[in-house]
Amino acid sequence: MKYFLTAFVTGVLVFLGATLYYKGPPEFASPKGVSVTSTEEAVATTPTPSPTPDNGKEVLAAAVKEALIAKHGSAAASLNVTVSRVEGNYAGGTASDQGGGGGWFAAKTGTEWKLVWDGNGQIDCKNISGYPDFPKSMIPECWDSASGKLIIR
């Protein structure tokens, strides 16, 4: 009985294998879709664009680039401005070109972004003194040029 069952299963497997080999895998008919037509009248509405995080970063980067051009002249027009971090009304990132680059920080005043600091090296405390709520996680320290000391915020 044991050999009969083994021979039977082997025969079925050989039969299925031969069928697949000579005839190929089975082809099933593709399902047909059902068309549904609505009887309700369509109401024309104008979708209001909602700001996306990427769109917000693009607006911020454009505002920073404009501020850099206003501060440094038309040479800053070739800078590639990227936004690295946004925390509420405060942001930071980089501005770079083929010759190098630097960092920047901005604050949102009302509905517009204002360039607070840009450059390389230590941030002078006088640049951020008008923004006491600037996140310490973004600017943990600044240089007090009056006392010549590094201030931990």
Higher pLDDT, 76 or 30: 76
Instruction: Residue 92: give the domain boundaries.
Output: 53-152
In this structure, is residue 19 part of a structural domain? no
User: Domain tally for the chain?
Assistant: 1
Q: pLDDT digit string (tens) for 60-80?
A: 999 999 999 999 999 889 999
Give, in order, the Cα–Cα distances in Å from 70 to each of 32, 73, 84, 89, 125.
62, 6, 22, 22, 22
In this structure, is residue 116 part of a structural domain? yes
In this structure, is residue 113 part of a structural domain? yes
Distance (Å, whole) CA 126 – CA 85 = 22
Q: pLDDT digit string (tens) for 73-111?
A: 998 899 999 999 999 999 999 999 988 899 999 999 999
Q: pLDDT digit string (tens) for 130-151?
A: 999 999 999 999 999 999 999 9
Looking at residue 34, its pLDDT comes to 57
Distance (Å, whole) CA 118 – CA 114 = 11
In this structure, is residue 36 part of a structural domain? no
pTM value is 0.62
